[in-house]
Chains A and B, each alone.
Chain A
Amino acid sequence: MNPELIDQLSGQLGPNGLPYTIPIHPNLVHLTLGLFIVAIAFDVVGVLFPLERPVFKLLAIPAARSNFFDVGWYNMLASAIVTFFTVAAGFYEIMLAQPAATGASAWGLEAMETMLWHGVGGVVLLAMIVGMTVWRGFQRFAWRKDRAQQVQWSYLIVGLLIFGIMFIHGTLGAQLAAEFGVHNTADMLLQEGQDPNALLR
Protein backbone atom coordinates (compact mmCIF):
# COMPACT_ATOMS: atom_id res chain seq x y z
CA MET A 1 0.00 0.00 0.00
CA ASN A 2 1.11 3.55 -0.79
CA PRO A 3 2.97 4.90 2.30
CA GLU A 4 1.18 8.25 2.05
CA LEU A 5 -2.14 6.44 2.33
CA ILE A 6 -0.93 4.54 5.38
CA ASP A 7 0.18 7.89 6.84
CA GLN A 8 -3.49 8.89 6.97
CA LEU A 9 -3.68 6.50 9.93
CA SER A 10 -0.27 7.36 11.36
CA GLY A 11 -1.69 8.74 14.59
CA GLN A 12 -3.26 5.37 15.38
CA LEU A 13 -0.40 3.05 14.44
CA GLY A 14 2.30 1.73 16.75
CA PRO A 15 5.92 0.88 15.92
CA ASN A 16 4.76 -2.39 14.29
CA GLY A 17 2.51 -0.53 11.85
CA LEU A 18 -0.70 -1.74 13.48
CA PRO A 19 -3.07 -0.12 15.99
CA TYR A 20 -2.31 -3.04 18.38
CA THR A 21 0.91 -4.82 19.42
CA ILE A 22 0.13 -8.44 18.46
CA PRO A 23 -1.09 -9.19 14.91
CA ILE A 24 -4.47 -10.97 14.90
CA HIS A 25 -4.19 -12.93 11.64
CA PRO A 26 -1.42 -15.35 12.71
CA ASN A 27 -3.43 -16.27 15.79
CA LEU A 28 -6.56 -17.09 13.83
CA VAL A 29 -4.33 -19.15 11.54
CA HIS A 30 -3.71 -21.52 14.50
CA LEU A 31 -7.44 -22.24 14.49
CA THR A 32 -7.91 -22.54 10.72
CA LEU A 33 -5.01 -24.97 10.28
CA GLY A 34 -5.43 -26.92 13.50
CA LEU A 35 -9.13 -27.54 12.88
CA PHE A 36 -8.75 -28.41 9.18
CA ILE A 37 -5.81 -30.78 9.59
CA VAL A 38 -7.37 -32.57 12.56
CA ALA A 39 -10.68 -32.87 10.68
CA ILE A 40 -9.00 -34.71 7.80
CA ALA A 41 -6.81 -36.72 10.20
CA PHE A 42 -9.83 -38.03 12.11
CA ASP A 43 -11.66 -38.91 8.90
CA VAL A 44 -8.59 -40.95 7.94
CA VAL A 45 -8.70 -42.60 11.38
CA GLY A 46 -12.39 -43.34 10.79
CA VAL A 47 -11.78 -44.89 7.39
CA LEU A 48 -8.91 -47.06 8.66
CA PHE A 49 -10.83 -47.99 11.81
CA PRO A 50 -10.82 -51.78 11.24
CA LEU A 51 -7.01 -51.70 11.39
CA GLU A 52 -6.93 -49.61 14.57
CA ARG A 53 -9.51 -51.51 16.58
CA PRO A 54 -6.95 -53.79 18.28
CA VAL A 55 -4.78 -50.80 19.18
CA PHE A 56 -7.61 -48.95 20.93
CA LYS A 57 -8.55 -52.18 22.64
CA LEU A 58 -4.99 -52.68 23.85
CA LEU A 59 -4.90 -49.12 25.19
CA ALA A 60 -8.31 -49.65 26.83
CA ILE A 61 -9.69 -46.56 25.08
CA PRO A 62 -13.31 -47.09 24.06
CA ALA A 63 -13.68 -45.89 20.47
CA ALA A 64 -16.66 -45.89 18.11
CA ARG A 65 -16.15 -45.37 14.41
CA SER A 66 -18.99 -42.87 14.03
CA ASN A 67 -17.37 -40.58 16.61
CA PHE A 68 -14.28 -40.16 14.45
CA PHE A 69 -16.51 -39.03 11.59
CA ASP A 70 -18.23 -36.62 13.99
CA VAL A 71 -14.83 -35.04 14.68
CA GLY A 72 -14.16 -34.93 10.93
CA TRP A 73 -17.39 -33.03 10.35
CA TYR A 74 -17.53 -30.63 13.29
CA ASN A 75 -13.85 -29.67 13.07
CA MET A 76 -14.17 -29.00 9.33
CA LEU A 77 -17.29 -26.89 9.90
CA ALA A 78 -15.53 -24.87 12.60
CA SER A 79 -12.50 -24.38 10.35
CA ALA A 80 -14.72 -22.98 7.58
CA ILE A 81 -16.40 -20.50 9.94
CA VAL A 82 -13.15 -19.31 11.53
CA THR A 83 -11.36 -18.92 8.21
CA PHE A 84 -13.59 -16.04 7.08
CA PHE A 85 -12.21 -14.09 10.03
CA THR A 86 -8.66 -15.34 9.41
CA VAL A 87 -8.76 -14.00 5.85
CA ALA A 88 -10.46 -10.74 6.88
CA ALA A 89 -7.82 -10.06 9.54
CA GLY A 90 -5.12 -11.03 7.05
CA PHE A 91 -6.29 -8.48 4.51
CA TYR A 92 -6.54 -5.74 7.11
CA GLU A 93 -2.96 -6.40 8.22
CA ILE A 94 -1.51 -6.90 4.73
CA MET A 95 -2.94 -3.54 3.64
CA LEU A 96 -1.02 -1.86 6.44
CA ALA A 97 2.22 -3.77 5.75
CA GLN A 98 5.32 -1.80 4.78
CA PRO A 99 8.16 -4.32 4.39
CA ALA A 100 11.63 -3.22 3.32
CA ALA A 101 11.91 -3.09 -0.47
CA THR A 102 15.31 -4.82 -0.47
CA GLY A 103 16.24 -8.49 -0.33
CA ALA A 104 14.52 -11.73 -1.23
CA SER A 105 13.14 -14.62 0.81
CA ALA A 106 14.66 -18.10 1.11
CA TRP A 107 12.47 -18.98 -1.89
CA GLY A 108 13.88 -16.12 -3.96
CA LEU A 109 10.72 -13.99 -3.84
CA GLU A 110 10.74 -10.32 -2.95
CA ALA A 111 8.40 -8.88 -0.32
CA MET A 112 5.71 -7.68 -2.76
CA GLU A 113 5.53 -10.98 -4.62
CA THR A 114 5.34 -12.86 -1.32
CA MET A 115 2.51 -10.62 -0.09
CA LEU A 116 0.55 -10.96 -3.35
CA TRP A 117 0.84 -14.75 -3.41
CA HIS A 118 -0.06 -14.98 0.27
CA GLY A 119 -3.10 -12.75 -0.26
CA VAL A 120 -4.40 -14.62 -3.31
CA GLY A 121 -3.58 -17.99 -1.70
CA GLY A 122 -5.61 -17.02 1.35
CA VAL A 123 -8.76 -16.45 -0.67
CA VAL A 124 -8.19 -19.66 -2.66
CA LEU A 125 -7.75 -21.64 0.58
CA LEU A 126 -10.89 -20.09 2.06
CA ALA A 127 -12.82 -21.22 -1.01
CA MET A 128 -11.30 -24.70 -0.75
CA ILE A 129 -12.10 -25.04 2.95
CA VAL A 130 -15.68 -23.93 2.41
CA GLY A 131 -15.94 -26.27 -0.60
CA MET A 132 -14.61 -29.17 1.47
CA THR A 133 -17.14 -28.40 4.21
CA VAL A 134 -20.03 -28.45 1.74
CA TRP A 135 -18.69 -31.68 0.19
CA ARG A 136 -18.31 -33.20 3.67
CA GLY A 137 -21.85 -32.12 4.55
CA PHE A 138 -23.31 -33.85 1.49
CA GLN A 139 -21.47 -37.07 2.40
CA ARG A 140 -22.62 -36.91 6.01
CA PHE A 141 -26.24 -35.91 5.55
CA ALA A 142 -27.19 -37.25 2.11
CA TRP A 143 -24.99 -39.50 0.00
CA ARG A 144 -23.52 -41.67 2.76
CA LYS A 145 -25.96 -41.13 5.59
CA ASP A 146 -26.41 -44.85 6.22
CA ARG A 147 -22.91 -46.06 5.38
CA ALA A 148 -20.41 -47.21 7.99
CA GLN A 149 -17.69 -45.33 6.10
CA GLN A 150 -18.94 -41.78 5.96
CA VAL A 151 -16.27 -40.24 3.70
CA GLN A 152 -15.08 -40.90 0.18
CA TRP A 153 -11.43 -41.67 -0.53
CA SER A 154 -11.41 -38.82 -3.05
CA TYR A 155 -12.34 -36.38 -0.27
CA LEU A 156 -9.41 -37.54 1.85
CA ILE A 157 -7.00 -37.33 -1.09
CA VAL A 158 -8.11 -33.77 -1.86
CA GLY A 159 -7.71 -33.01 1.85
CA LEU A 160 -4.10 -34.22 1.77
CA LEU A 161 -3.42 -32.12 -1.35
CA ILE A 162 -4.77 -29.09 0.50
CA PHE A 163 -2.27 -29.85 3.31
CA GLY A 164 0.42 -29.34 0.67
CA ILE A 165 -1.05 -26.00 -0.42
CA MET A 166 -1.30 -24.98 3.23
CA PHE A 167 2.37 -25.81 3.76
CA ILE A 168 3.46 -23.62 0.84
CA HIS A 169 1.02 -20.88 1.78
CA GLY A 170 1.99 -20.96 5.45
CA THR A 171 5.68 -20.79 4.61
CA LEU A 172 5.04 -17.63 2.55
CA GLY A 173 3.29 -16.17 5.59
CA ALA A 174 6.15 -17.20 7.86
CA GLN A 175 8.60 -15.52 5.48
CA LEU A 176 6.61 -12.29 5.64
CA ALA A 177 6.94 -12.38 9.41
CA ALA A 178 10.41 -13.79 10.03
CA GLU A 179 12.34 -12.63 6.94
CA PHE A 180 10.69 -9.38 5.86
CA GLY A 181 9.71 -8.47 9.42
CA VAL A 182 6.16 -7.40 8.52
CA HIS A 183 4.38 -6.01 11.62
CA ASN A 184 7.26 -7.20 13.77
CA THR A 185 8.11 -4.59 16.40
CA ALA A 186 11.78 -5.47 16.95
CA ASP A 187 12.47 -5.86 13.23
CA MET A 188 10.88 -2.52 12.40
CA LEU A 189 12.75 -0.74 15.21
CA LEU A 190 16.04 -2.20 13.91
CA GLN A 191 15.14 -1.02 10.40
CA GLU A 192 14.78 2.50 11.77
CA GLY A 193 18.15 2.21 13.49
CA GLN A 194 16.66 2.01 16.97
CA ASP A 195 17.56 -0.40 19.79
CA PRO A 196 14.76 -2.87 20.67
CA ASN A 197 16.66 -3.94 23.78
CA ALA A 198 16.36 -0.44 25.21
CA LEU A 199 12.86 0.36 23.94
CA LEU A 200 11.09 -2.95 24.70
CA ARG A 201 12.16 -3.34 28.30
Chain B
Amino acid sequence: MSDFLPPLNEHNLPYPDTIHPIVVHFVIAMVLFAFLCDVIGYYTRNSRLYEVSWWNLFFATISIFIAVIFGQVEAGLAEPYAAAERTLNVHTLIGWSLSGIIAAITGWRYILRSRDPKQLPVSFLVIGALLSVLVFYQVYLGDKLVWVYGLHTVPVVDAIKDGVL
Protein backbone atom coordinates (compact mmCIF):
# COMPACT_ATOMS: atom_id res chain seq x y z
CA MET B 1 0.00 0.00 0.00
CA SER B 2 2.73 2.45 0.95
CA ASP B 3 4.27 1.95 -2.51
CA PHE B 4 1.33 3.83 -4.01
CA LEU B 5 1.52 6.82 -1.71
CA PRO B 6 4.09 9.60 -1.57
CA PRO B 7 6.26 9.40 1.56
CA LEU B 8 4.63 10.69 4.72
CA ASN B 9 5.84 14.02 6.11
CA GLU B 10 6.28 15.25 9.67
CA HIS B 11 2.48 15.50 9.99
CA ASN B 12 2.23 11.84 8.94
CA LEU B 13 0.50 12.97 5.74
CA PRO B 14 1.28 12.37 2.04
CA TYR B 15 0.59 16.10 1.36
CA PRO B 16 1.78 19.23 3.26
CA ASP B 17 -1.13 19.96 5.67
CA THR B 18 -4.43 18.43 6.74
CA ILE B 19 -7.15 19.00 4.13
CA HIS B 20 -10.22 17.80 6.06
CA PRO B 21 -10.35 20.88 8.35
CA ILE B 22 -10.41 23.07 5.22
CA VAL B 23 -13.17 21.18 3.41
CA VAL B 24 -15.37 21.29 6.50
CA HIS B 25 -15.52 25.10 6.20
CA PHE B 26 -18.07 24.47 3.46
CA VAL B 27 -20.23 22.19 5.53
CA ILE B 28 -20.16 24.13 8.80
CA ALA B 29 -20.57 27.62 7.36
CA MET B 30 -23.17 26.63 4.76
CA VAL B 31 -25.38 24.55 7.07
CA LEU B 32 -25.39 27.21 9.78
CA PHE B 33 -25.91 30.08 7.34
CA ALA B 34 -28.72 28.20 5.59
CA PHE B 35 -30.49 27.83 8.93
CA LEU B 36 -29.95 31.53 9.73
CA CYS B 37 -31.39 32.54 6.34
CA ASP B 38 -34.42 30.30 6.89
CA VAL B 39 -35.09 31.83 10.30
CA ILE B 40 -34.69 35.42 9.08
CA GLY B 41 -36.66 34.63 5.91
CA TYR B 42 -39.46 33.10 7.97
CA TYR B 43 -39.85 36.04 10.36
CA THR B 44 -39.41 38.78 7.74
CA ARG B 45 -41.45 36.90 5.09
CA ASN B 46 -38.57 37.36 2.67
CA SER B 47 -38.76 34.30 0.41
CA ARG B 48 -35.60 35.37 -1.43
CA LEU B 49 -33.65 34.22 1.63
CA TYR B 50 -35.19 30.75 1.23
CA GLU B 51 -33.40 30.53 -2.12
CA VAL B 52 -30.13 31.64 -0.50
CA SER B 53 -30.68 28.94 2.12
CA TRP B 54 -31.41 26.26 -0.48
CA TRP B 55 -28.25 26.94 -2.51
CA ASN B 56 -26.14 26.96 0.62
CA LEU B 57 -27.58 23.58 1.62
CA PHE B 58 -26.95 22.30 -1.90
CA PHE B 59 -23.30 23.33 -1.60
CA ALA B 60 -23.02 21.77 1.87
CA THR B 61 -24.34 18.46 0.54
CA ILE B 62 -21.63 18.21 -2.12
CA SER B 63 -18.98 19.32 0.36
CA ILE B 64 -19.77 16.84 3.11
CA PHE B 65 -18.93 13.87 0.90
CA ILE B 66 -15.55 15.39 0.08
CA ALA B 67 -15.09 16.17 3.78
CA VAL B 68 -15.83 12.54 4.72
CA ILE B 69 -13.36 11.20 2.13
CA PHE B 70 -10.52 13.39 3.40
CA GLY B 71 -11.61 12.82 6.97
CA GLN B 72 -11.39 9.08 6.48
CA VAL B 73 -7.93 9.30 4.87
CA GLU B 74 -6.62 11.53 7.65
CA ALA B 75 -8.26 9.49 10.41
CA GLY B 76 -6.59 6.41 8.93
CA LEU B 77 -3.20 8.13 9.13
CA ALA B 78 -3.84 9.74 12.54
CA GLU B 79 -2.51 6.85 14.67
CA PRO B 80 -4.60 8.01 17.63
CA TYR B 81 -3.22 7.21 21.07
CA ALA B 82 -5.55 5.50 23.53
CA ALA B 83 -6.93 8.71 25.07
CA ALA B 84 -7.96 10.08 21.65
CA GLU B 85 -9.54 6.92 20.24
CA ARG B 86 -13.05 7.30 21.57
CA THR B 87 -13.43 10.88 20.31
CA LEU B 88 -12.12 9.86 16.87
CA ASN B 89 -14.59 6.96 16.70
CA VAL B 90 -17.58 9.13 17.60
CA HIS B 91 -16.44 11.87 15.20
CA THR B 92 -16.15 9.29 12.39
CA LEU B 93 -19.55 7.82 13.14
CA ILE B 94 -21.31 11.19 13.22
CA GLY B 95 -19.42 12.34 10.12
CA TRP B 96 -20.65 9.43 8.01
CA SER B 97 -24.14 9.86 9.45
CA LEU B 98 -24.14 13.55 8.65
CA SER B 99 -23.47 12.83 4.97
CA GLY B 100 -26.72 10.86 4.87
CA ILE B 101 -28.62 13.27 7.09
CA ILE B 102 -27.63 16.40 5.15
CA ALA B 103 -28.34 14.72 1.82
CA ALA B 104 -31.79 13.66 3.05
CA ILE B 105 -32.61 17.13 4.40
CA THR B 106 -31.49 18.72 1.12
CA GLY B 107 -33.65 16.21 -0.76
CA TRP B 108 -36.64 17.17 1.38
CA ARG B 109 -35.87 20.83 0.77
CA TYR B 110 -35.72 20.14 -3.00
CA ILE B 111 -39.26 18.75 -2.86
CA LEU B 112 -40.57 21.62 -0.71
CA ARG B 113 -38.95 24.12 -3.07
CA SER B 114 -40.36 22.40 -6.16
CA ARG B 115 -43.86 22.63 -4.73
CA ASP B 116 -43.68 26.25 -3.59
CA PRO B 117 -40.40 28.15 -3.27
CA LYS B 118 -42.09 30.96 -1.32
CA GLN B 119 -43.31 28.84 1.61
CA LEU B 120 -41.39 27.01 4.29
CA PRO B 121 -43.09 24.80 6.91
CA VAL B 122 -42.09 25.29 10.55
CA SER B 123 -41.11 21.61 10.67
CA PHE B 124 -38.21 22.39 8.34
CA LEU B 125 -36.99 25.09 10.72
CA VAL B 126 -37.12 22.57 13.56
CA ILE B 127 -35.07 20.06 11.56
CA GLY B 128 -32.66 22.86 10.62
CA ALA B 129 -32.21 23.69 14.30
CA LEU B 130 -31.56 20.04 15.18
CA LEU B 131 -29.07 19.73 12.31
CA SER B 132 -27.28 22.85 13.53
CA VAL B 133 -26.96 21.35 17.02
CA LEU B 134 -25.54 18.14 15.56
CA VAL B 135 -23.06 20.10 13.43
CA PHE B 136 -21.97 22.08 16.51
CA TYR B 137 -21.36 18.86 18.41
CA GLN B 138 -19.42 17.37 15.49
CA VAL B 139 -17.29 20.54 15.28
CA TYR B 140 -16.63 20.25 19.01
CA LEU B 141 -15.39 16.66 18.58
CA GLY B 142 -13.21 17.62 15.61
CA ASP B 143 -11.80 20.54 17.59
CA LYS B 144 -10.94 18.16 20.42
CA LEU B 145 -9.03 15.89 18.04
CA VAL B 146 -6.92 18.80 16.80
CA TRP B 147 -6.68 21.17 19.76
CA VAL B 148 -6.76 18.82 22.73
CA TYR B 149 -5.26 15.59 21.36
CA GLY B 150 -3.12 17.26 18.69
CA LEU B 151 -3.56 14.57 16.01
CA HIS B 152 -1.40 15.28 12.93
CA THR B 153 0.48 18.05 14.77
CA VAL B 154 4.26 17.76 14.57
CA PRO B 155 4.96 17.38 18.33
CA VAL B 156 2.39 14.57 18.68
CA VAL B 157 3.51 12.77 15.50
CA ASP B 158 7.12 13.03 16.74
CA ALA B 159 6.16 11.67 20.14
CA ILE B 160 4.34 8.73 18.55
CA LYS B 161 7.32 7.96 16.28
CA ASP B 162 9.68 8.13 19.26
CA GLY B 163 7.44 5.79 21.23
CA VAL B 164 6.79 8.44 23.92
CA LEU B 165 3.07 8.42 23.17
Q: Confirm or deny: A137 has a beta carbon within 8 angstroms of a beta carbon on chain B.
A: no
List, in ascending order, chain B residues with CB within 8 A of A78's CB: 33, 36
List, in ascending order, chain B residues with CB within 8 A of A30's CB: 24-25, 28-29, 139
Q: List 11 A-B contacts (CB under 8 A).
A: A21-B147, A21-B148, A74-B37, A171-B16, A175-B17, A177-B146, A178-B18, A181-B154, A195-B165, A196-B156, A200-B84
* 6 A-B pairs with the lowest CB-CB distances in the bound complex, closest first: A34-B29, A186-B150, A34-B25, A187-B155, A67-B51, A178-B153
Which residues on B are within 8 Å of A, measured CB to CB? 10-11, 16-18, 21-22, 24-26, 28-30, 32-33, 36-37, 48-49, 51-52, 55-56, 59, 81-84, 110, 113-114, 117, 139-140, 143-144, 146-150, 152-156, 159, 164-165
Known: A178-B17, A186-B155. A196 touches B149 (CB 8 A): yes
List, in ascending order, chain A residues with CB within 8 A of B49's CB: 74
**Quick one: closest B residue to A60, CB to CB?**
B114
Q: How many residues of A contact B (CB 8 A)?
A: 48
Known: A178-B154, A200-B149. A22 touches B144 (CB 8 A): yes
| Separation of A183 and B149 alpha carbons in the complex (Å) | 11
Q: Which residue of the partner chain, among B56, B140, B165, contacts A197 with CB atoms under 8 Å?
A: B165
Q: Confirm or deny: A50 has a beta carbon within 8 angstroms of a beta carbon on chain B.
A: no
| Separation of A196 and B159 alpha carbons in the complex (Å) | 10
| Separation of A201 and B84 alpha carbons in the complex (Å) | 8
Q: Confirm or deny: A31 has a beta carbon within 8 angstroms of a beta carbon on chain B.
A: yes
Q: Which residue of the partner chain, among B82, B114, B147, B159, contacts A185 with CB atoms under 8 Å?
A: B147
